[in-house]
Structure 1
Amino acid sequence: MVQDETHRKLDLCSAGMTWKSESGRVKLNGEQFHIKGANWFGFETESHVLHGLWGATTMERVLNFCQANKINALRVPVSLDLALNSKTVVARGSCQECSAELAWDMLDRLFVMAAARGIVIVLDMHRLDQYNNSDLWYDGKHTQDQFIQGWGDLLTRFGDKANLMGIDLKNEPHGAATWGLGSATDWNAAAVYIVKKIKERVPGYNKLIFVEGVGTDGAIAQYPPSDPAFDKFWGQNLDGVISHPIDFGTPELNSLLVYSPHVYGPSVADQVYFKDATFPANMPSIWDKQVGFVEDATGKALVTGAWGGSYAGQDKLWQDAWADYMIDRCIADNFVWALNPNSGSNGGLLEADWSTPVVTKLQLLAKIQPNPSVFTSAISSSVVCVNYGAPANSKCALKGPGSPADSKPDAKPHDAPK
């Protein structure tokens, strides 16, 4: 789709970077920013560094791959233990290029090298320790105060990085995690409290704040358990935003809020709707109830923080349908899981040699975001220049104040979809 130059300049330069989530869109310096993102994991594991760097593959090589394929954003998982210990050492044999042995130094290196290639980063608090994806943001060994401290420590070190796009507060709350039930395990209330405390610790923080949903049973459902849309993946359940939208307490902080569900297919976990005789034609109506309502209900951007799969058999049918849905519903901003080929049944954008591209998956990403926003110079704290690109679906472009696409209410719930 050729961009309409009557309302959008192709290349704009600005002093600094101001991120906002408004009108159902992510914006950079007032312009709609089209995210073509990928997850690159490893820091949250026993390696304490990005995976893939144990052999001939280098950080430079992977980042060059991202730049060549217009992947403009990386979601980078970390653990709370790593955040609390700036002296964590990279595991022996995990990184051939690590002249510095500290994980935080390698994270700093990633920021620098990504900025040089026009790539922004979202830090994701993926785990509490290096082994398990916990239900909650605390457990028997980690307190909520430590969770806040970990974020504060990370942002004290990395919060001023020009190419820090934002933070994903907690990966995939599920199980015991709830939303709007008046419980100590309510993730919506905890997210508000945590963000306020982070802001006290790091007053200058002004980047995006990604908040995921909870698990299937964690919120008051908009429909009965008999409805096919009832069952969801970890972090996907945003039913609670209808009655309990996130409110950080100030317009400044609320302008940074992004809702970020995780959406997966049959190669990750089975769901009853994958067995429907009409699959995948049945999925759009289900997704409407699971995630499609969020932008209209809240006025905030919806960015899929993780999705993907094997891209074979039934999973290919699912991914093709999800891609079409993202395009049609104007929610194409996404972070695919993952760059890494060692992602279980998911696979990655790279083959097991960490060098050969998986062409079919890259073609699918290019279909979803054919014209992502591209930094036309290195990202710095002074001047940034961006070709803002265009959505695959022309109806998804913001036309300016007063247009239908730019007139969504901010944080105003509507009736639950039927």
Structure 2
Amino acid sequence: MKKITIILMILVMCVSLLAIHNFQSPVAASGDGGNWFHVEGTNIVDKHGNKVWLTGANWFGFNCRERMFLDSYHSDVLAVMEMVADKGINVVRVPIATDLLYAWSKGEYPPSVDTSYNNATLAGLNSYELFNYMLENFKRLGIKVIIDVHSAETDNQGHTHPLWFKGKITEEIFKEAWVWAAKEFKNNDTVIGFDLKNEPHTNAGDLKRISESAIWDDSDRPTNWKRVAEETALAILEVHPNVLIFVEGIEMYPKDDIWDDEEFNTSPWFGTNDYYGNWWGGNLRGVRKYPINLGKHQKQLVYSPHDYGPIVYEQTWFQGEFITADDERAKEILYEECWRDNWAFIMEEGISPLLLGEWGGMTEGNHKLLELNKKYLRAIRDYIIENKYELHHTFWCINIDSADTGGLLTRDEGTEFPGGRDLKWNDYKYDNFLYPTLWKNEEGKFIGLDQNVPLGRNGISLGEYYGTKDPNLPSPTPTTSPTPTQEPTQTPIEPISYGDLNDDGEINSLDAVLLSRILLEMSPSGVDMKRADLNGDGVVDTMDYVLLGRYIFGVITEFPVSKN
């Protein structure tokens, strides 16, 4: 009963904070600033000009009606996050929906599904608070984030809608939401990039309508993705000139570069075969004639195709010779029939680096195309490795609940981990396909993208790899040394850093996590309880939690105990 009461008190505290519409994200307030990336030729480089390799994975859920990482249903989400860092994933692409960003921009904070039965520290957090709490933990673990607008509306099937506007979400709202995000995260270099729109594509069925399908040219059509991406990127970069902009392709592209058909048929029986097709978001042929032009901000642009195997869809290049080809020839077939002309030419011709924003697929089970799917995965894996530093990638996906690809989390064969509950880590998929494509040094340590924070427990920081650690970042507050005195009976009293429960020199939501664990009788080790008594009444209780939350959100600037 006591734990239930405490959780309810925490919930009340969080709800009371919603009335404060002008508070700043705790992560943004504590961002170390300046560790940004830009493009030089076909490489992404850090602020010192050193090449980096973004090698990561996708983790979805904030694009869905649950508005949280869906694996929170099944596990301790922080335990999963820590394992992701330990496994060497240095960037996570996080899908979200435009309507959620837009709501936040208006001071509205829709709820996330309550998973406090697995994650006590998440009790009472709304979607905005939860998202920022996730960012703060990514920062702690040395993981960078790419925010991806996956759909117009928070909808588990929202990605099937072909365009960036839908219903109340207009093109203007799409742009406005992104500009708000630019303002929100411009001082938070945990968020290094924005993927403007996931998988623009055509309407369903063989009969394609230009009015319902993403196109790519120099027109003013409402469905011209090239125009909208360019305009949105420029608006973002005027506010936040340091963020990387990732622009995906479309699905269909005319063989003569001219979009002069209001409708066209792609049926193998009744179609005219006038268009090149590819995966949703994977067709960047239009870049040859109509490249994205960001002017003075061009060095922030990265093109981003998607690519999958035959279990997702049995494309023509997975048929014929591919079926019996050995691995080397299979890779050549995929390159010649798909990759080269759809997107690989962009890095080969020095136009831009690429981020393969989604790749992956099933590696276990009884699907009739499973062996062909694994052949595809070996081919794309090897192609990524061959193009290190020019071809970056985020694997799809961490989640257990992707129906046509599976995930790095599984309930089948795999390794159990603390906090995983009924989830396991998919060793076979990771060891054979993702691990070889992760950025590692000669000793096999994973290389992170933060200048100072090492990547998990098995990695190093970017600054450690290149010898460029930033000495100007704040360090934990040192312990005060007592001043020698001639009167030994007087013992110097060290000042108490109230609120800084983990002694890292900052007061943020990580301290709130520790305090919530104290209140839930989880007894975290190494915490000085004096630091948690923020009102000086000799008891650590929910009133102290309320004070800590008000301090983190900027409502108060000091604790009552410090006035005593």
Instruction: Measure, in 2, the Cα distance between the counterparts of 1:326 and 1:110.
Output: 29
1:219-230 equivalences under 5 Å are: 230=276
Matched with 2:373 is 315
Instruction: Measure, in 1, the Cα distance between the counterparts of 2:351 and 2:77.
Output: 37
Which secondary structure does the structure 2 equivalent of 1:293 belong to?
Answer: helix
Q: Aligned match of 1:289 in 314, 321, 341?
A: 341
Instruction: Measure, in 2, the Cα distance between the counterparts of 1:85 and 1:184.
Output: 24
Matched with 2:397 is 338
Instruction: Measure, in 2, the Cα distance between the counterparts of 1:342 and 1:208.
Output: 29
Instruction: Measure, in 1, the Cα distance between the counterparts of 2:171 and 2:451.
Output: 41
Instruction: Measure, in 1, the Cα distance between the counterparts of 2:194 and 2:451.
Output: 24
1:162-311 equivalences under 5 Å are: 162-175=189-202, 176-180=213-217, 182=219, 183-200=221-238, 203-217=239-253, 230-250=276-296, 253-279=297-323, 280-281=330-331, 282-286=333-337, 287-311=339-363
Matched with 1:365 is 434
CA shift in 2, pair 1:173/1:298, >3 Å: farther
Matched with 1:64 is 82
Which secondary structure does the structure 2 equivalent of 1:278 belong to?
Answer: helix
1:75-114 equivalences under 5 Å are: 75-86=93-104, 87-93=109-115, 96-97=119-120, 98-114=122-138
Structure with higher Rg: it is: 2
1:387 aligns with 2:423: no
Matched with 1:140 is 167
Deviation at 1:322, TM superposition (A): 1.0
Q: Contact between 2:163 and 2:201, CA under 8 Å: does it hold in 1?
A: yes
Per-residue Cα deviation, 1:82-132 (whole angstroms, up to 9, x for no partner): 111121111245874423431111110111111111100000000111221
Q: Contact between 1:32 and 1:388, CA under 8 Å: does it hold in 2?
A: no
Which secondary structure does the structure 1 equivalent of 2:359 belong to?
Answer: strand
Which secondary structure does the structure 2 equivalent of 1:75 belong to?
Answer: strand
Deviation at 1:151, TM superposition (A): 1.2
Counterpart AA for 1:319:
L
CA shift in 2, pair 1:354/1:39, >3 Å: farther
Q: Any unmatched runs of 5+ in structure 2? A: 1-31, 203-212, 259-270, 324-329, 364-369, 412-420, 441-445, 455-460, 468-564
Matched with 2:72 is 53
Q: Aligned match of 1:349 in 395, 401, 408?
A: 408
Which secondary structure does the structure 2 equivalent of 1:109 belong to?
Answer: helix
Instruction: Measure, in 1, the Cα distance between the counterparts of 2:88 and 2:336.
Output: 31
1:118 aligns with 2:142: yes
TM-score by length of 2: 0.61
Which secondary structure does the structure 2 equivalent of 1:125 belong to?
Answer: strand
Which secondary structure does the structure 1 equivalent of 2:321 belong to?
Answer: coil
Deviation at 1:314, TM superposition (A): 1.3
Which secondary structure does the structure 1 equivalent of 2:136 belong to?
Answer: helix
CA shift in 2, pair 1:354/1:219, >3 Å: farther
Counterpart AA for 2:178:
W
Instruction: Measure, in 2, the Cα distance between the counterparts of 1:20 and 1:316.
Output: 34
Q: Contact between 1:233 and 1:262, CA under 8 Å: does it hold in 2?
A: yes
Q: Percent identity?
A: 27
1:40 aligns with 2:59: yes
CA shift in 2, pair 1:384/1:49, >3 Å: same
CA shift in 2, pair 1:117/1:216, >3 Å: same
Instruction: Measure, in 2, the Cα distance between the counterparts of 1:296 and 1:387.
Output: 27
Per-residue Cα deviation, 1:392-411 (whole angstroms, up to 9, x for no partner): xxxxxxxxxxxxxxxxxxxx
Matched with 1:398 is none
Which secondary structure does the structure 2 equivalent of 1:78 belong to?
Answer: strand
Deviation at 1:75, TM superposition (A): 0.2
Counterpart AA for 1:256:
Q
Deviation at 1:152, TM superposition (A): 2.2
Deviation at 1:300, TM superposition (A): 1.3
Deviation at 1:158, TM superposition (A): 2.8
Counterpart AA for 1:128:
A
Deviation at 1:159, TM superposition (A): 3.1
CA shift in 2, pair 1:190/1:355, >3 Å: same
CA shift in 2, pair 1:69/1:92, >3 Å: closer
Matched with 2:26 is none
Counterpart AA for 1:118:
G
Q: Any unmatched runs of 5+ in structure 1? A: 1-13, 390-418
Size of the alignment, in residue pairs? 366
Deviation at 1:332, TM superposition (A): 4.1
Per-residue Cα deviation, 1:304-336 (whole angstroms, up to 9, x for no partner): 001111024211011001111222244442000
Instruction: Measure, in 1, the Cα distance between the counterparts of 2:438 and 2:462.
Output: 21
Instruction: Measure, in 1, the Cα distance between the counterparts of 2:246 and 2:386.
Output: 23
Instruction: Measure, in 2, the Cα distance between the counterparts of 1:350 and 1:368.
Output: 18
Counterpart AA for 2:93:
R
Asked which structure has the greater RCO (Cα within 8 Å, sep 6+), the reply is 1
Which secondary structure does the structure 2 equivalent of 1:124 belong to?
Answer: strand
Matched with 1:413 is none
Deviation at 1:293, TM superposition (A): 0.6
Deviation at 1:58, TM superposition (A): 2.2
Q: Contact between 2:33 and 2:187, CA under 8 Å: does it hold in 1?
A: no
